[in-house]
Every structure is written in structure tokens, then in C-alpha cells.
Structure 1
């Protein structure tokens, strides 16, 4: 039995059998809300996820906007309750139509204050591919909302995510270099390509999942907001990007995913990444 499962059982989760478990990754095929209600104490050091946007994707049931916001408030509050004192929560959200009031309302406007987390910052994820607008600007961004449990004591490993692309690396003032030799702060606008699909344009990491994180985005979040050995949680595991990236970076991972086909996809992707990494280390 893995140490991660043991930790979950000690926190009160005893009746649910994992879909998959090894020493580094435990995945449950279940709804996140009842799962989190069973946990009695803080557990995660970092949660990073992207919930359904309520826009009619194949993996979601459409709700009224009020019902959707209430559902988000429920699971976000439970994430807060199960996050460690120094822990963080990164929430990726996009846009939703608001019928007669808005063509594309940023979900960040509706969700940011639904829990007791302290809001640090909005990060804009900018990408190149996307739909082309005719009567509006072509949308090319989504939001990440960065929350922490404790505003005075949280993990932020800036040196782990510095951008080496410094325009003037050799500037000095009073004999001291003005720029950190490890690189600059990446700023709050991140330029990472989307995971694309389609003939002659599909990303290397593309899976059958219709809404897949790029690994580079999650890598920056995990490096900056957690430490090796920490426990990372993704309540909407989807294609398994969080598990693949966090495990590669030396973190342990727990996830929930309501669809069994996505659970299988995530496990297969995780195991393949682990196998390939082992092969590379043996060379």
C-alpha cells in the first residue's frame, strides 16, 4: 500500500478504492465533492486544476450559471479545507457566455472570491492558436488565479522558474550586476503554446482529451508553488498532465476524475512517462 493512500486513510478516506495507485500517484474515479467531504484534515501542499467551464464540452453537463457558481463554491471551499497551512491553489479558468449580458465573461470574475483562500495574483496564459474572431478580437488567453492558504507564509520558488531570456544580461550599476544571472522574473503573462490538434499541427503531447494542459504551464506552477516531496492534488485530472509533470519534478500526486475513460488515459500517460524517464536514466 502506498504512503499516499495511507495518508488519505488516516485523514478519514477509507471506503473508496483507488482506480490506480503506486508510490507516487493515486487516482480515484469519483466526483470530487463527496471525496473531499470525507477528508477531515489538511493534506495537499498544492492544488492545480482546470474545472469544466460550463460551455458544453463532452465531459460536462450544462448547468445554469447560478448552479455552476454554487458548485464551484462547494468544491473550492473543500479544497481550502484540505490544503496545508503553507499550501497554494492554482485555478485555470476561461470564459463563459452570459446570454444577453456578455459574449464571453471571464470566469475569474465569478469565482475568485468563493473560498477563504487569499488571492495573490492573476496570471494570464497567452497562446498563439485559437479561433479567429470576425466581430471581436481573436481570443488568445486564459486566466490562472493564484491563491494561498496563508498570506504570510507560502511557497514561492522564484529561482526555480526564472526566465534566462534577459535582454541586457551584462548591465552593471556601481560595480554590481543589475540582473540576476539565473534569469528574470517571468512576469504575470506567460507565453506557452496550447496543446493543438489536427492534421500536420497536432502537438507532440496531444491525447484524445479535448481540453488538455500544456506540460510547460503546469511545470512552472509546480516548481514555483511546491517543494520536492510535496503532495499535489488535481480534482479534475482529465488527461493526467498534473500527474505526469508533478511526478517528473519529484512530487507525489493525488487526483480525482469522474470519467473512467479519462482515468484510463491519465494512468496510461503517467506510466508511459515514468517508463520513458526510467529508460533515459539507464542510458
Structure 2
């Protein structure tokens, strides 16, 4: 009679020979912070004054064109309504945007969208992307976060960048891959673990890019030299076009501290890097699909002025409450420091 092998012998995932996590130790799950400490730093009084003056001037212009906002305070301006309507009204003014960072609906049936045909979706995106181009400063940028969806009879997981990359006057500088660990598990295809960010600029020869502000200090050989000189920049390496940021997760003991009730929330860490790279302090950062307000918190935390549009009033309330909680956390952080 054949003696069955112990279960651990046949289960590769339970064997140290095959599973490096068991052999080397399982690192605990690292949920994202409610707010990265880099966004909680306080500003000098003279800088706060400059921000307040810039916001007051911007508010005066916006109120005349867009009406009263849903909320406006301390570098955070949010309007409740259709973004295409607001963008059209802005295009008739002399208000210019330094940076746009957004993640629009993916047309996959989330609670905040009504699915439409692929052609209609592409046409709609082309419209608002072109509107953003018209209000962007000559040296401004546009970062677009998109995932994938099904194209009937053509593909199940078609990356949306394939359909949108050239649907506006913007110049596509490059695609950035956002890689994360958590995600949907699948059985008949590979589990999806990335989304894309399209990095657009208005002028291919002149645009804001603050590489030193986003350098990665985790260099494998920091003391390596060539001809007597250090090979790597003392601030760190270029983070490349593949970014690893934890996804905003849910679940028992795995839920991210920054998690809100919004079903499609990107982490503050990734938008913080985008804002640092493609804008400067006291500049205006736009998000026409503001959602839970991640772009707004990152922008305000870095000394920019946020302008957001959100069509759902409950998400506006969510974003404002989150921003107020961020302000309180920042105040407590400064007091402790």
C-alpha cells in the first residue's frame, strides 16, 4: 500500500524549498498611512501669507465664472458639478492651470458611472482632455491614471492608454507603470497587479520636471565610483518609469489607514510624487474627477493650491471631511514636533 506523503511535501506554498517568504521570513503587511509625514510639514508664516493671497485672487476669479464652491479654505477649493461644464467655463477665462492630476471613471460599472460604449467613452475622454489642454499653462503638465476594461469581441483586459494616448493635443512624454501587490485574483488569466499613468506635457521642449525632489535614496551601491567620482547623485537615483506603491486596501487587519468610502481611491504617496515632480509651490493643481480628494490633500500638503471638480455631492462631503481631518493631523504633527 502506498503511504501518502505529508501535506507539506506536496504543497509547494508550504515548503521552505519553494516559498522564499517561509524561508526568509514573512514581512508584515504594511498598510498605507492616513497621511505621509512629508505632507504634514508646517509652512513658514510668510509662505502661508503668499498662499493665502494667491488663493484669494484665484477665488475672486473663480466665483465670477463658476459661482460659489462646495468648499474653499487653506489651499483646497472644491466644486460640486459636471467637470466638462466647469472646464468649458474656465476655458473662457484667463485662468491657467499648472498641473492636472486625475483618474477618471474606467467605464467598468462602478457606482459613480453609467457604462457606455467604448466609442462613446473614448469620445467623451477626448473632449475633456482637450478642454484641459486649453486651460493648461505653456509649461504645464497633465498626469492621467487609467486601468483597463473590456472591448466587446476584441479583448477582456484592454489597457485604456491604448485608446486614449493620442486623443488630445497634449504631447505624451512617457508611460509610468504603477505596480502594487494587492488586487483581484483570477483563475484563467494572470492576476492584474498594475495600472498606468500617462505623463503628458503641453510643450515637449519646456515643462516643469523636478527630478531632485523625487529621487529615490534606496541605492544598492551608494559608494560606487568611476574615475574617482561617485556614480550616483547624492540625493539618490531616478525612480524610473516603474513605481511600486501599496494600493489602498480593505479587509480585516489589512485596511489602509487612508481608506475612505470611495471605491476607487489611489494612494497619497503616488500623487505626492507626481505633484512634486510636475509643479512648484503656490501653483494651481487641478483634478476634474476629485473623488475622495487625494490630489487635493497632496497638493495642499506640498504648498500648492488645489482646484477640484466632483459630480457626486456625497463624495464632495467625503473629500472635505477628509481634508479637515488632514488639517487637524497636520496641526497635531506640528505641535508634537
Q: TM class, shorter-chain normalised? A: over 0.9
Corresponding residue for residue 255 of structure 1 = 308
Once the two structures are TM-superposed, the CA of residue 134 in structure 1 deviates from its matched residue by 1.1
Judging by fraction of residues, say which structure has more helix. 2
Structure 2 stretches lacking a partner, 5+ long: 1-51
The Cα shift of 1:5 comes to 6.1
Normalization by structure 2: what TM-score? Answer: 0.81
Give the Å deviation of 1:10: 3.4
Residue in structure 2 matched with residue 178 of structure 1 by the alignment: 231
Which residue matches 2:248? 195
Q: 2-side partners of 1:273 and 1:144: how far apart?
A: 25
Aligned residues between the structures: 283
Deviations 1:207-258 (A, max 9, x none): 0100001011001100111111110000000001011111111111000000
Q: Using a 3 Å threshold, how does the CA distance of structure 1 residues 63 and 2 change in structure 2: closer, same or farther?
A: farther
Q: Does 1:14 align with 2:65?
A: yes
Q: Distance in 1 between matches of 2:211 and 2:180?
A: 22
RMSD, aligned α-carbons: 1.5
**Corresponding residue of 1:150:** 203
Secondary structure of 2:125 counterpart: helix
Q: Normalized against structure 1, the TM-score is what?
A: 0.96
Mapping 1:61-76, distance limit 5 Å: 61-76=114-129
Give, in angstroms, the shift of residue 264 of structure 1: 0.4
Please point out which of 152, 157, 161 is paired with 1:99: 152
Query: Are 2:102 and 1:28 aligned?
Result: no
Q: Secondary structure of 2:206's match?
A: coil
Q: Is the 8 A contact 2:214 2:277 kept in 1?
A: yes
What aligned pairs does 1:32-181 form with structure 2 within 5 A after superposition?
32-39=83-90, 40=92, 41-181=94-234
Greater Rg by CA: 2
- TM-superposed CA distance for 1:281, in Å, is 1.5
Q: What 5-or-longer segments of structure 1 have no aligned partner?
A: none
The question of whether the paired residues in 2 share the 8 Å contact of 1:20 and 1:26 is answered with yes
**Maintained 8 Å contact 1:12/1:38:** no
CA–CA distance in 2 between the matches of 1:58 and 1:15?
Answer: 26
**1: distance between equivalents of 2:195 and 2:215?**
21
1:84 to 1:8, Cα distance in 2 relative to 1, 3 A? farther
Q: Deviating runs (4+, > 3 A) in structure 1?
A: 1-6, 8-13
Q: Give the equivalent residue in structure 1 for 2:269.
A: 216
